[in-house]
Amino acid sequence: MTLDGLAKGIVGKVTVVGGTGSFRRRLMELGLLPGTQVARTGSAPLGDPLSFLVRGAVVCLRRDDARLVEVVVAG
């Protein structure tokens, strides 16, 4: 599953960070590293961007960018 597929309030664990070059590096600088827990906190009124709680900070990503991060639902 990708990050954009998480429902509000669900916690996932990052498995793969996609993208290329400086954009992939930027996602990782925001805290989206393999093994990191991420919780979906909401979205804008029209559904884009999405907001996530990552390492104690709220991070907003466009839906297309969130599709580059693969997660598994934490049990």
Enumerate domains of the chain plus CATH numbers.
Answer: 3-73 (2.30.30.90)
**pLDDT at residue 60 in the model:** 95
Q: pTM of the entire structure?
A: 0.88
Q: Three-class SS of residue 39?
A: strand
pLDDT tens sequence across 11-65: 999 999 998 899 999 999 999 999 999 999 998 888 789 999 999 999 999 999 9
Query: From CA 4, how far away is CA 22, in angstroms rounded?
Result: 21
Question: What SS3 state is found at 10?
Answer: coil
